[in-house]
Structure 1
Amino acid sequence: MAHFSLRAVNMSTTRLPAFAAAFVTACAPVCAQAHVLTAAERSAPPALRWTFEPWVVALLILSLALYVAGYRRLCSRSRRGRAIRVRRLSAFVLGWLTLVAALDSPLDALSAALFSAHMVQHELMMLVAAPLLVLGRPLAVWLWAFRPASRHAIAAAVRTPALRGLWRSLCAPAVAWLLHAAALWAWHMPRLFEAALASPVIHTLQHASFLLSALLFWWVVFGEGTRRDQSGYAMLSLFTTMVHTGALGALLTLAPGLWYPAYIEPTSALGFDPLQDQQLGGLVMWVPGGLAYLIAALATGARWLMHRAPVTFIPNALAARRDSGS
């Protein structure tokens, strides 16, 4: 009976799936103040320490606690589908740990002084944490952390016509692709990027838009709601995203001058050349980033081929039919 209930929850929440489930986790960078250097800190090497922003830590712990509680309740009620739940648990935990590494580890402090570290931070959020959270399907598990009355109320709330219509629009492959591409290109414009470096509020908005647009993009690619006949769109989205992010990385790598002068002082304080640091950051986006999209596209293509009906060719039967006809 518990297994049937889990399926019912999954069916009721496919309208507002893992993207909405990951919203609590994604809210961490929205509610926290991203690390921004003061004027005095720009001329000195950064203190490489775990930042532990209170709101980030609180929301990450809350998301993990809800997942563990829901997972334990599901396991205690039914053993069916246990292998699937273990895979999803592993994906969620890995995505959660990646967010911790990106937002709370010394990488966060270093990203304020090195553009290349900043690019690593963004790639971890968009190319590692986001797809893993989507594959973790946390919404149904989180719902099971609540009592039955609360579960039904939440499931009913996400099935309202307005939310269902909005979700259908956002899940259109072209819309998800455009939102993700717009977030990437807009925030890497020098004026906006430097504004994010100077303002904690704008910086958190940058991180939130990167993560939320990536969650939506990967949901359309990998989500349960993606129909088999949309696999072609998913592969096209991945390949074209690989191309345009590679183009942005190439522009950063091959640029003759600095795009972001705000990095001159903090990068020089660490003994690095700012232009070379920018080139390294561009390469991070260009090569490892492009490889991640390529691997995802190949995996999507393999899944599509596996779901196709096999074509059986029996030469002996054909030969027998030809002989009997003659």
Structure 2
Amino acid sequence: MTTVWIPYCGPAPAPGDWRWNLDPVLLLVLALAAVLIGWRLRGGQRVAGLAAIAVLFVGFVSPLCALSSALFAARTVHHVLLVAVAAPLLAWAMPVRRVGPLTLATAVQAVVFWSWHAPGLYSAALSNDGVYWLMQLSLLASSVWFWVGVRNASAPSAVGHLLIAMVAMGFVGALLTFAEQPLYAPHMLTTAAFGMTPLEDQQAAGLIMWAPAAAIYLIAALVRLGSWIGPDRPVARVDQAT
């Protein structure tokens, strides 16, 4: 008997079916969050907070939500937007405060990300709305914790932990890229309409994690390193009289 997967974002769409998710509860939560950010925050923090809400809108409301029911690669883009774009924006919008050891935050973020990409837990999230939102909220919360820690840490510590996070993301991507068989049951019957086999879809997802997603952490590390070293100072020239 074939299992029919109906995740939170709805059944897998056909190519060209640009279906938006108009869940009124979700739209209300995002709208209230945007109003609260606009009211309570100022300057760069307000911009970062509203930008984070915009990223969440793309992930959960735009057609990307429905497409992620069909393609694991789209789901990967969704998760990357969550943990590597929305999360650092939210971390920047938050007031500076101590949040515990950065090493612990880095480990928790990695374990949460790895766990939800285990085939069993992933399938559970796509078959139950409660588990789905547990996945999304735990991914976002653990990543915000990590990015707040990076923001507050010294430059050497931030750079080191960003590189660890990069390796952790790339490790999952490499495993998916080189897996010899498809691992995710919810996408076994949904990729053909998009001209991909389940294995090709999984490999595309792995490459997204391995290259552009991991590169975000590398770029952040280079930015922190550059701010630590500082700009090159011009060398004063001494003109000697002849």
TM-score by length of 2: 0.86
1:19 corresponding residue in structure 2: none
- The residue number in structure 2 matching 1:15 is none
In structure 2, the partner of 1:59 is 29
Where 1:265 maps in the other structure, the secondary structure is coil
Q: C-alpha deviations, 1:176-230, integer Å up to 9, x for none?
A: 01110110111111111111111111111111111000100000011xxx25xx3
Deviating beyond 6 angstroms after TM superposition, the runs of 4 or more aligned structure 1 residues are: none
| 1:132 has 2:132 as partner | no
Q: Spell out the pairing of 1:76-95 with structure 2 (5 A cutoff).
A: 85-95=42-52
1:278 aligns to 2:231 (yes or no): no
Q: CA deviation at 1:60?
A: 1.1
- Residue of structure 1 in register with 2:3 after alignment: none
In structure 2, what is the Cα distance between the partners aligned to 1:275 and 1:266? 12
Alignment partner, residue 178 of structure 2: 254
Distance 2:194 2:129 in 1: 22
Partner residue in 1 for 2:71: 114
Q: What are the superposed Cα offsets for residues 102-138 of structure 1, whole Å, 9 maximum, x if unpaired?
A: 111110011011100000000001111111121123x
Question: What does 1:120-269 correspond to in 2, within 5 Å?
Answer: 120-137=77-94, 170-222=99-151, 226-227=152-153, 230-269=154-193
Partner in structure 2 of residue 35 of structure 1: 8
Q: 2:224 aligns with which of 285, 297, 300?
A: 300
Which residue type is aligned with residue 22 of structure 2?
F
Paired residue type of 1:55: V
What CA distance in whole angstroms lies between the structure 2 residues aligned with 1:104 and 1:119? Answer: 16
| Greater Cα radius of gyration, structure 1 or 2 | 1
Query: Following the alignment from structure 1 to structure 2, what is the Cα–Cα distance between the partners of residues 185 and 68?
Result: 34
- TM-score normalised to structure 1 length: 0.65
CA drift of 1:34 comes to 6.4
Aligned-residue sequence identity (percent) comes to: 34
The answer to whether the Cα contact below 8 Å between 2:7 and 2:127 also exists between their aligned partners in 1 is no
Distance 1:70 1:260 in 2: 42
Relative contact order higher in (CA < 8 Å, ≥ 6 apart): 1
Q: Which has the higher helix share?
A: 1
Q: Distance in 1 between matches of 2:143 and 2:24?
A: 24
State whether residues 116 and 278 of structure 1, in contact with CA within 8 Å, keep that contact through their aligned partners in structure 2. yes
Pairwise CA RMSD: 2.7
Residue by residue, what CA displacement relative to the aligned partner does 1:71-96 show, whole Å, maximum 9, x if unpaired?
A: 5xxxxxxxxxxxxx432222222111
Change (3 A) 1:36 1:86: closer
Q: What are the ranges of 5 or more consecutive residues in structure 2 without an aligned counterpart?
A: 1-5
Distance across 1 between alignment mates of 2:105 and 2:40: 29
Deviations 1:254-293 (A, max 9, x none): 1110011220112224442111111111111110111100
Kept in 2: contact 1:45–1:266 (CA 8 A): no
